[in-house]
Amino acid sequence: LEGTHLVLIENDKVIGMVVAPDSNMNPNITEISYLAVKEREKGKGTKLISELKKICKEKKKRSIITYSRSAVDFYKKQGFKKITEDSKGSYLFLRLE
């Protein structure tokens, strides 16, 4: 799977991860397909997203997209904008500069 996959390890234990494959439709876009942290509200998700942004910029990606049911507010705090929603969740977009 082409893209960026990050694992956050603390005290020899996996405490978070993000799976962000390159978009099949547009090579300039990375899509977060999975983000999980062991504990919320501890800054671990923010750390993963910050590192993902950095890597995507280095790879000359123009944007990151994702679909979320429960973490819309988290993604908004990371700079994502909600572009549309359906009955199950929201699509969010972040333009990299």
- Residue found under tokens 């572009």: 83
pLDDT (tens digit per residue) in 12-58: 999 999 999 999 889 899 999 999 999 887 899 999 999 999 999 99
| pLDDT for residue 40 | 82
pLDDT value for 60: 94
Averaged pLDDT for residues 7-14: 95
Q: What is the DSSP letter of 81?
A: E
Read off the pTM: 0.90
Torsions phi, psi for 17 (to 5 deg):
-160, 155
The pLDDT of residue 1 is 67
Domain span including residue 70: 3-95
Q: In the chain, how many domains are there? A: 1
Hey, how many other C-beta atoms are within 10 angstroms of the C-beta on 95?
A: 10
pLDDT at 52: 97
Amino acid at 65: I
Any idea what the CATH number is for the domain that residue 80 is in? Answer: 3.40.630.30
**Residue length, the chain?**
97
For the segment 68-77, what is each residue's pLDDT rounded down to a tens digit?
A: 999 999 999 9
Virtual CA dihedral for 44, 49, 51, 56, nearest 10 degrees?
A: 170
